[in-house]
Copies of this chain bind each other. A is one copy, B any other.
Amino acid sequence: MKTYVVGSGVTKVDRHYDKNYLVLIDEAVGKTLANSGLDASDIEYLVVSTAFSESILNQADPSTYIAQNLGFRNVKALTVSSGEVSGAVALDYAHALIRSGKASRVLVVGFEKMSEYPSWVINRVYAKILEYEVEGIKNVAPSDYAALIMNDYMRRYGVSRESIIKWSIKMHENAVKTPHAQLQFTISADSLSKALRISEPLTMLDSHPTSDGAAALLLVNESVAKKAGTTPIELVDVESSVNLPIYLRDDLTYFSATAAAYKRLSSRNGVKLTTNTAVNVYDTYDIYGLLTIEALEICARGEAVKCVDEMPYLNVGGGLKARGHPVGATPLYQVHELRELMSGTSWIKYDGDISLAHAMSGPDNNAWLILLRGWV
């Protein structure tokens, strides 16, 4: 059975000091149901995605409390928590539920509250995406790896530090046009020298901000989709792969998990990405965005910096860099942005029939791809 997205809604990505996760989710769910024509009582499954609820909010299985507080009765509720790919996993689960006929209306909800504690507390939480017994215990930070990878990329391909920041500049330009984006201002390469250093040569300008947010997607089967008020988008397929840890890789500049997942997805579905395909990739750091579009075979290796200018539908919401990275919700924001693009409600017109969301935990440690297609 085919799976369709018939509703989606997001909150503005921000530091929402005045709202708890339930309020954010209520807003995202309200928008999602409103534009789908369905009601809370129609929902069979509530699939919740969060990366750090347990650490930050002291809340195991928030799905139970979301159901209790937001009036979902007789729903099957559960929580998926799989690091930075949580949202992609939640979509895969929902896809399997619909496709198997186990459910016909699944609400996927993602959220994160990264601003509940000051950065030095949250940084420790975020570092849990790395392997604690090897990396975390030594205080190795996710940004340290991004810096090492950036070093290798610049060295191997003779790419300059200044050209890498082009990625972030583009993301901020896209964010300015995206109402739900967090960083709605432009930046320039001139600011690079004054930018706060994180892990040299990486600066704040290269990195995602600290973000709160919630996003929801309503997935249904074909018969429900046909009755929906809005034009559905098909969630065609999900694919993923795991990479070796950084220190075991022969080439730091090749995201081989993303590449392997793409090869399988591409051949199984007979699709090929080009610079004109809408893609929404994980630019946790700008260098990761560049390596991802190379691993997805959109650009030749070492050429991504040039490629960025030729990709009108690259991270139209501003990417993790400028839309922000409310971790457990990020893949749902990505799909929401692609849905807007494909249904003609984005700030830019798109004629393609497919689009792709990419999520990964750390530097390609675990990479996931979600393939979408317009209603045909």
Q: Does A74 contact B (CB under 8 A)?
A: yes
* Interfacial chain B residues near A160, Cβ < 8 Å: none
* Interfacial chain B residues near A241, Cβ < 8 Å: 74-76
Q: Is the CB of A68 within 8 A of B101?
A: no
Name the contact of A96 in the complex, choosing from B65, B97, B260, B365 (C-beta under 8 A).
B97
Q: Is the CB of A58 within 8 A of B361?
A: no
Name the contact of A136 in the complex, choosing from B51, B58, B97 (C-beta under 8 A).
B58
Q: Does A77 contact B (CB under 8 A)?
A: yes
* Interfacial chain B residues near A84, Cβ < 8 Å: 61
Q: How many residues of A contact B (CB 8 A)?
A: 58
CB proximity to B under 8 Å, residues A239-280: 239-242, 244-245, 260
Name the contact of A78 in the complex, choosing from B82, B97, B133 (C-beta under 8 A).
B82
Nearest-CB distance from A229 to chain B (Å)? Answer: 27
Knowing A80-B80, A97-B96, A102-B99, say if A242 contacts B57 (CB, 8 Å).
Answer: no
Q: Does A60 contact B (CB under 8 A)?
A: yes
- Which residue on chain B has the smallest CB distance to residue A72? B242
Which of A124-132, A149-157, A201-209, A303-311 forms contacts with chain B?
Answer: A124-132
Q: Is the CB of B102 within 8 A of A95?
A: yes
* Interfacial chain B residues near A362, Cβ < 8 Å: 64
Q: Does A230 contact B (CB under 8 A)?
A: no
Query: How many copies of this chain sit in the oligomeric assembly?
Result: 2
- Which residue on chain B has the smallest CB distance to residue A137? B58
CB proximity to B under 8 Å, residues A65-105: 65, 67-68, 72-86, 89, 92-93, 95-97, 99-102
Q: Does A211 contact B (CB under 8 A)?
A: no
Q: Does A52 contact B (CB under 8 A)?
A: yes
CB proximity to B under 8 Å, residues A212-252: 239-242, 244-245
Q: Does A123 contact B (CB under 8 A)?
A: no
Q: Does A20 contact B (CB under 8 A)?
A: yes
Q: Does A63 contact B (CB under 8 A)?
A: yes
Q: Is the CB of A366 within 8 A of B63?
A: yes
Cα separation A65 to B240 with both chains bound (whole Å): 15
Q: Is the CB of A260 within 8 A of B54?
A: no
Q: Is the CB of A54 within 8 A of B57?
A: no
Q: Is the CB of A80 within 8 A of B81?
A: yes
Q: Does A188 contact B (CB under 8 A)?
A: no
Name the contact of A82 in the complex, choosing from B52, B73, B80 (C-beta under 8 A).
B80
Knowing A80-B80, A132-B58, A241-B74, say if A366 contacts B102 (CB, 8 Å).
Answer: no
Q: Is the CB of B68 within 8 A of A133?
A: no
Q: Does A59 contact B (CB under 8 A)?
A: yes
**Given contacts A60-B128, A99-B102, could you give 11 more A-B pairs where the C-beta distance is less than 8 Å?**
A20-B133, A61-B84, A61-B129, A64-B361, A64-B366, A67-B366, A76-B239, A76-B240, A77-B366, A79-B89, A81-B82
Can you name 9 A-B pairs with beta carbons within 8 Å? A58-B128, A58-B132, A61-B361, A74-B242, A76-B242, A77-B242, A78-B92, A80-B81, A96-B102
Please report A residues at the B interface, Cβ cutoff 8 Å: 1, 20, 51-52, 54-55, 57-61, 63-65, 67-68, 72-86, 89, 92-93, 95-97, 99-102, 128-129, 131-133, 136, 239-242, 244-245, 260, 361-362, 365-366
